[in-house]
């Protein structure tokens, strides 16, 4: 058999060149990743120190006062004016407690299970005012059709109704009525009626018919507000409203 032909010198050099280039690329990628990791650690370390510095500067006065209080506790003969410092902190704490008490009175005494509603109305041609749900507040009170509210809990309720009239009509009295019915049918019976007077046709002025009272309601009772003529009503949100609150 003839001896094998040896590889050419040029092909060996090309393979060696490709291997070196690949090795250099891999080494470069490893070095780049190490640099990125190192930069990330340096950045995090810098941000942590900056955060601690800002926190220290923000509460520097508090830290100093706490240290002075600690000196007062450890050394009664210290030159620090402990009595004045303690009086200052006492006054601050009294103000904080008073503020917490006001907040509790505003929001702490109204649990989520209390029934209440504060309704505004939208313009319509119906004598029964239609609720503007997007600008009203309800809790444990159902919205039925367009003009009724349904009570879910039994008890005594404060009910109020306010209707403002912006136009005058000699033949129609300006009145609003709160009606209540059992169930979902019928016009209901009148609970309250209020009137107001605009004056003369030559000088018409707005008038508001307001009424309120306490009534005993049962689950399923429905309430609505009726007016003599819907075209005479002022439908602004703060002019015509209806509401109830369970005692």
The tokens 């002022």 sit on which residue?
Answer: 234
- Does any domain span residue 51? no
191 and 102 in one domain? no
What pLDDT is recorded for position 143? 86
139 and 99 in one domain? no
193 and 94 in one domain? no
pLDDT in tens, 124-158: 888 899 998 888 889 999 888 889 999 999 999 99
Q: Which of 98, 125, 113 is nearest to 152 (CA)?
A: 113
Which pair of tokens denotes residue 119?
A: 């309704």
What pLDDT is recorded for position 178? 94
Number of domains in the chain: 2
75 and 144 in one domain? no
Which pair of tokens denotes residue 219?
A: 């689950």
89 and 146 in one domain? no
Q: Name the residue range of residue 99's domain.
A: 59-108
96 and 120 in one domain? no
Q: Strands 148-151 and 221-227, how do they pair?
A: antiparallel
132 and 97 in one domain? no
What pLDDT is recorded for position 46? 74
**Cα-based torsion angle of the residue sequence 100, 105, 107, 110 in order, rounded to the nearest 10 degrees:** 150
Q: What is the mean pLDDT of each run of 10 residues along the chain (247 residues)?
A: 56 60 80 82 75 58 60 56 62 54 49 78 90 89 89 92 84 88 85 83 77 91 92 89 90
242 and 123 in one domain? yes
Q: What is the CATH number of the domain that holds 240?
A: 2.60.120.40
Category of 220 on φ-ψ map: left (φ > 0), alpha (ψ -120 to 50) or beta: left
169 and 130 in one domain? yes
Mean pLDDT of the chain: 76
191 and 165 in one domain? yes
191 and 81 in one domain? no
* Separation of alpha carbons 17 and 26, rounded Å: 14
């Amino acid at each position: 058999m003839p001896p094998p032909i040896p590889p050419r010198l040029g092909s060996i050099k090309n393979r060696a060149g490709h291997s070196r280039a690949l090795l250099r690329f891999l080494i470069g990628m490893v070095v780049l990743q190490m640099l990125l990791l190192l930069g990330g650690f340096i950045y995090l370390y810098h941000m942590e120190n900056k955060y601690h510095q800002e926190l220290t500067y923000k509460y520097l006065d508090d830290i100093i006062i706490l240290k002075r209080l600690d000196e007062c506790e450890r050394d009664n003969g210290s030159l620090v004016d402990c009595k004045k410092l303690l009086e200052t902190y006492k006054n601050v704490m009294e103000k904080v407690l008073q503020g917490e008490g006001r907040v509790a009175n505003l929001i702490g005494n109204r649990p989520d299970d209390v029934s209440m509603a504060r309704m505004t109305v939208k313009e319509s041609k119906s004598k029964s005012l239609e609720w503007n749900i997007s600008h009203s507040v309800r809790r444990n009170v159902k919205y039925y059709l367009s003009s009724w509210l349904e009570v879910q809990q039994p008890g005594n309720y404060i009910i109020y109704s306010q209707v403002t009239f912006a136009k005058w009509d000699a033949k129609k009295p300006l009145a609003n009525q709160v009606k209540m019915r059992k169930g979902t049918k019928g016009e209901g019976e009148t609970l309250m009626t209020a009137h107001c007077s605009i004056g003369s046709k030559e000088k018409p002025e707005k008038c508001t018919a307001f009424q309120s009272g306490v009534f005993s309601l049962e689950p399923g009772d429905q309430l609505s507000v009726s007016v003599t003529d819907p075209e005479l009503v002022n439908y602004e949100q703060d002019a015509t409203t209806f509401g109830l609150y369970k005692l």
